[in-house]
Structure 1
Amino acid sequence: MEKIPTGFDVLHNPKLNKGSAFTEAERNQYGLKGLLPAGSVSQQIQIQRVLENIHRKAYDIERYIFLFALQGRNERLFYRLLIDHIDELMPIIYTPTVGQACQQFAHIFREPRGFYITPDDRGHIHDILSNWPEKDVRMIVITDGQRILGLGDLGANGMGIPIGKLVLYTTGAGIHPDQCLPVMLDVGTSNQTLRDDPLYLGVKQDRLTGAAYNELIEEFVTTVQNLFPKALIQFEDFLTPNAYSLLNTYRKRVLCFNDDIQGTAAMVLAGIYSAIRITGERFSDLRILFLGAGSAATGMADLIKSALCNTGINTDDASQRLWLVDHKGLIVKSRTDLSDHKRHYAQEHGEMSFTETIRSFKPHILIGATGVKDTFTEEAIRAMSEIQKHPVIFALSNPSSHSECTAQQAYEWTDGRAIFASGSPSEAVNYKNQIFHPGQGNNAYVFPGVGLGAISCEASLITDEMFLAASAALAEMVTREDLNKGTIFPPLKNIRGISLKIACAVANNAYENNIAKTPRPENLEQAIRELMYDPTY
């Protein structure tokens, strides 16, 4: 018979601990008398106390450390707090603060969280992954830390990203924390500063590449299919060539997706659907220019192209409506330095600079995915405002310090006519006595719902059609009131309802395409809602 935990075993177990919220009866039942102050309070009073402590902190990185320490003490209080105050705390637990947390990960390390795989583990991944205490894993986020946000190669410090993403899966979509597994594929780092840091916790060698790298990932993916056959694998923050290689290798074999390529694309497509409700343009008539041609930009272009083709446009015509500019200028067919993901969007045109491309192409929408600050220059944004009455400007690079431009700049340089969204949260802007509330183009609108929908029906694959369905569902939740404030995404405080709607759209698509393994429930929304973790006690 399993022994029931009592005393400090309860108080030191974050899954069981309720702290000062244990009732008198529970204190007697679990042997807690004398181990807690006499006062018993509600979870809401505990949240009030936590918020007071958060507000005392001088810096966001201190708030980040405090919040994850809370997760290590009282898991349910941590998630109830995040659900109730997601607007305030999202920027702390994820972008932009998670970028600083990753840069300083080894220096702020408190307790292990997540799973690490190194090159020395090759041939033994099944054995070591069996050490993970939870056996019903449904959601895995894995990174190799090579391209963390816009910050570059952070090696094992990149573990902050899978941890943060899975916190958002639980907060935003109710995936049970016991079913979440953050994974760091620690194959070394080319960042010499990290390797020279005595506090760095990762493998201190140059990055593993080539066949050995691919074989290590293959062993991991195969092991997951054996140990956690119902798990979805999300690839996160891989360098562009690896991101595409992994997605193309596994997308038709296992349940997986790449959030940087596909999740970002779905979020942006939803934002475009909302923006044209303001501009009055037809979706099929749009011309869209991307500054940046990495995995995020080409992933967006791929999904938007699919959506354009669904309106009856052929593939070639759709591609000609999507122009990409990288650090060398417009992507054109005469260039000999193009990788495959760029070559699909090479135009039959002479070479041009970014601003020259704006004036020639006359885009309705400008999307930044550069990872480089201030690349949306005043000249470029003013050129957009000369061409379009309401230029749509997406400055999506994270964290905020790497954003292509600020909301203030976008509104000033377009005389308040821009429709603006950024990757990290932006404060409201007062321009000529008009208050704008710029939207945040955050993947958290999409990936939690996609994950919930896929695992709810035990989908065998994640398809592009699911992301198209997610985009449409997200856009439908933007109200006229939101649009009137200049916001093209629904309020983040509604994230659980948003995720539920997206999950229903994704699961419904899986059932329609016969890639769901579970029988379709009579009431799909109710069935998915009942799966969502509630941390209330």
Structure 2
Amino acid sequence: MTTIAKTNISGQTLLNDSRFNKGSAFTSAERELFNLTGLLPARVETIAEQCARCYQEFKRQPTLLDKNIYLTKILNQNETLFYKLVYDHVAEMLPIIYTPVVSEAVEHFNHIFQRPRGLFLSYPERDSMEEVLRRYDHANIDIIIVTDGERILGIGDHGVGGMSLCIGKLALYTLCAGIHPSRTLPICIDIGTNNKTLLNDPLYLGWRHERLTGQKYDHFIDQCVMTIKKIFPDVLLHWEDFGRDTARKHLDRYQNTMCTFNDDMQGTAAVSFSAIESALQTIRQDITQQCIVFFGAGTAATGIADFIVKIMVKRGLSLEAAQARIWLLGRRGLLMQDMDNLMDFQKPYAKSKNAMAEWKLKNVSHIDLFEVVRHVKPTILVGCSTVKGAFTETIIKTMVKYTPRPIILALSNPNSKTEATPHDLLNWTNGKALIATGSPFPDEVISGKKTPIAQCNNLFIFPGLSLGVISVKAKRITHDMFVVASHTLAKHSPAQQDAYGSLLPDLTHIQEICFDIAVAVAEQAIKEGVAHKTDVEKAILANIWEPNY
């Protein structure tokens, strides 16, 4: 898609507008037309020359956070140059603008803040919400990503620092799927924070107040969503990093009335199942044969479990039989039916005491991961706990006794919170484990053989899925649209050709993967009747932008 930028601004104002600024690449004619003569060095550069200079400076940055800050500076000065630079170095730079380095950017948001991007909908300013949102009603906004900053990756409540994650994630829509940045909008819903460090930090930029809860919180979220729907009736609303008690509630409330999804639940589930499916194809087994243990019982874990159960049911198991194959452990150990304060979404997986009648347990009130692995003999182990080192050598070697090629997903991120490192998992299983992680890890060498480590990165799913959705103007996002996205990703798995290959592809072909997912999702949307029939590939290609002047 070729975009012609139209603007009536000129001079220094134009150079300060990152949407239109080309810097030293403005031609002589453009410099004359827009009153830029004398404001720039005389030489006119190409975007390739600008990228070469920026990449040189990027490499000079001493830390990963400094690299993130430098790339943010370019984004704030010249959007097209930023996307071209990262596009040309996608495998190297995506981990800098997204996981794992974005966690550091969120933690330091209030101290490295440069200039505002997106919108902040703050509770004390709630009476001005419609006016604030209408500042963008002239724009062709297709995608809004919204967070309240309560559960940022594995680092918890960071209030308005969640905006850093939204900005980074929206950049992935452009880099991976080619969605023009002007058609996306990040929104941070500021309802306070319970992070005492932030509340006591004189530089904290958000509302200095404990988080709203109960009816006040629900009413404010509803006001935000209803106002967004009023001004952007056809927008795709992407929920990001809401807390355990609210994420599923919001999705359940709004998913049947607008085009929306929760990436922490549905995106994580789709990419995780893709890794599992690739592993199962490698060992020639089916998901209906598996016993799966989750360490972690929040929205991510239960989202993956729900996704798997629906597929098991579609392949012939009863709902009860499918749920019986899933075991979830939370902070209090294995989920049990007699536990107080279970969330509604956890209850289908809570076990009765009869299920453990023949177990010899040291502590019946807290059944830990080792006891579950020892008795259940899982074929798949999934970590969503943010508990570093939770998958111990004893636990993994116990699992291997019963499962020759165990499938292990240590999904917690950043790397400092992973349940086990790939190096340890491969050593403890003599290289037999089929592994995927939440954050990127380098290749491992076991017995002289290089083993690539798959990263269960949601960017494999949500950009392509959303491109397909907006290209055919789908009114809803369904479960089966995520399923076809997951299956499409699995087809790109290197493990399809090499039994010891990575379960998921690397990032070098991310644009091709996102295009294939967009096509599959768009066709599924039409099949389900949530979008009108059209030439799918033509519609998608019309929505892909490339960063060039």
Q: Which TM-score applies when normalising by structure 2?
A: 0.94
Alignment of 1:123-138 (within 5 A): 123-132=127-136, 135-138=139-142
Distance in 2 between residues matched to 1:370 and 1:480, nearest whole Å:
27
Distance in 1 between residues matched to 2:45 and 2:7, nearest whole Å:
28
1:85 aligns with 2:85: no
Distance in 2 between residues matched to 1:415 and 1:300, nearest whole Å:
28
Distance in 1 between residues matched to 2:68 and 2:281, nearest whole Å:
37
Letter in 2 for 1:189: T
1:521 aligns with 2:534: yes
Name the CA shift for 1:346/1:483 in 2 (closer, same or farther; >3 Å): farther
Equivalence for 2:383: 368
For the 8 Å contact 1:376–1:405, the answer to whether it is kept is yes
Distance in 2 between residues matched to 1:150 and 1:183, nearest whole Å:
20
For the 8 Å contact 1:145–1:158, the answer to whether it is kept is yes
Alignment of 1:416-455 (within 5 A): 416-455=431-470
The match for 1:531 among 540, 543, 546 is 543
1:491 aligns with 2:506: yes
Equivalence for 1:116: 120
1:232 aligns with 2:236: yes
Distance in 1 between residues matched to 2:189 and 2:231, nearest whole Å:
18
Equivalence for 2:98: 94
For the 8 Å contact 1:134–1:179, the answer to whether it is kept is no
Report which stretch shifted further, 287-296 or 424-433.
Answer: 424-433
Letter in 2 for 1:334: D
Report which stretch shifted further, 134-143 or 313-322.
Answer: 134-143
Alignment of 1:8-407 (within 5 A): 8-132=12-136, 135-348=139-352, 349-350=355-356, 351=364, 352-407=367-422
Distance in 1 between residues matched to 2:545 and 2:399, nearest whole Å:
45
Report which stretch shifted further, 264-273 or 345-354.
Answer: 345-354
Equivalence for 1:466: 481
> Aligned residues, how many?
533
Displacement of 1:13 after TM fit?
Answer: 2.0
Superimposed CA distance per residue, residues 384-419 of structure 1 (whole angstroms, 9 cap, x where no aligned partner): 222212111111111111111111111111111111
Displacement of 1:123 after TM fit?
Answer: 3.7
For the 8 Å contact 1:150–1:372, the answer to whether it is kept is no
Displacement of 1:484 after TM fit?
Answer: 4.5
Name the CA shift for 1:417/1:478 in 2 (closer, same or farther; >3 Å): same
Distance in 2 between residues matched to 1:135 and 1:260, nearest whole Å:
27
Distance in 1 between residues matched to 2:199 and 2:13, nearest whole Å:
38
For the 8 Å contact 1:439–1:489, the answer to whether it is kept is yes
1:504 aligns with 2:519: yes
For the 8 Å contact 1:189–1:205, the answer to whether it is kept is yes
Equivalence for 2:425: 410
For the 8 Å contact 1:27–1:33, the answer to whether it is kept is yes
Displacement of 1:364 after TM fit?
Answer: 1.3
Superimposed CA distance per residue, residues 447-487 of structure 1 (whole angstroms, 9 cap, x where no aligned partner): 11121111112211111111111111111122457645531
Name the CA shift for 1:481/1:275 in 2 (closer, same or farther; >3 Å): closer
For the 8 Å contact 1:419–1:486, the answer to whether it is kept is no
Letter in 1 for 2:385: T
Superimposed CA distance per residue, residues 65-116 of structure 1 (whole angstroms, 9 cap, x where no aligned partner): 1001101111011111222211101110011111111111000001011211
Secondary structure at the residue paired with 2:112? Answer: coil
For the 8 Å contact 2:494–2:502, the answer to whether it is kept is no
Report which stretch shifted further, 341-350 or 176-185.
Answer: 341-350
Name the CA shift for 1:134/1:264 in 2 (closer, same or farther; >3 Å): farther
Displacement of 1:124 after TM fit?
Answer: 3.2
Distance in 2 between residues matched to 1:181 and 1:311, nearest whole Å:
39
Distance in 1 between residues matched to 2:333 and 2:10, nearest whole Å:
65
For the 8 Å contact 1:96–1:399, the answer to whether it is kept is yes
Report which stretch shifted further, 47-56 or 485-494.
Answer: 485-494
Secondary structure at the residue paired with 2:145? Answer: strand
Root mean square deviation of aligned Cα? 1.7
Letter in 1 for 2:330: D
Distance in 1 between residues matched to 2:472 and 2:209, nearest whole Å:
42
Superimposed CA distance per residue, residues 310-340 of structure 1 (whole angstroms, 9 cap, x where no aligned partner): 1111111111111111122222323334221
Distance in 2 between residues matched to 1:212 and 1:377, nearest whole Å:
43
Displacement of 1:10 after TM fit?
Answer: 3.0
Unpaired runs of at least 5, structure 2: 1-5, 357-363
Distance in 1 between residues matched to 2:26 and 2:137, nearest whole Å:
26
Secondary structure at the residue paired with 1:332? Answer: coil
For the 8 Å contact 1:482–1:488, the answer to whether it is kept is no
Q: Which TM-score applies when normalising by structure 1?
A: 0.96
Distance in 2 between residues matched to 1:76 and 1:336, nearest whole Å:
53
Letter in 2 for 1:527: A
Unpaired runs of at least 5, structure 1: none
Displacement of 1:133 after TM fit?
Answer: 6.9
Distance in 2 between residues matched to 1:482 and 1:72, nearest whole Å:
42
Letter in 1 for 2:167: I
For the 8 Å contact 1:188–1:203, the answer to whether it is kept is yes
Equivalence for 2:359: none
Superimposed CA distance per residue, residues 194-246 of structure 1 (whole angstroms, 9 cap, x where no aligned partner): 11100000111111111111111111111111111121111111111101111
Letter in 2 for 1:385: V
For the 8 Å contact 2:297–2:346, the answer to whether it is kept is yes
For the 8 Å contact 1:482–1:490, the answer to whether it is kept is no
Displacement of 1:491 after TM fit?
Answer: 2.2
For the 8 Å contact 1:116–1:185, the answer to whether it is kept is yes
Name the CA shift for 1:49/1:134 in 2 (closer, same or farther; >3 Å): farther
Name the CA shift for 1:329/1:445 in 2 (closer, same or farther; >3 Å): same
Distance in 2 between residues matched to 1:121 and 1:136, nearest whole Å:
25
Distance in 1 between residues matched to 2:157 and 2:495, nearest whole Å:
41
Distance in 2 between residues matched to 1:346 and 1:306, nearest whole Å:
17
For the 8 Å contact 2:495–2:502, the answer to whether it is kept is no
Distance in 1 between residues matched to 2:90 and 2:454, nearest whole Å:
15
Name the CA shift for 1:124/1:25 in 2 (closer, same or farther; >3 Å): closer
Name the CA shift for 1:340/1:218 in 2 (closer, same or farther; >3 Å): same
Letter in 2 for 1:531: N
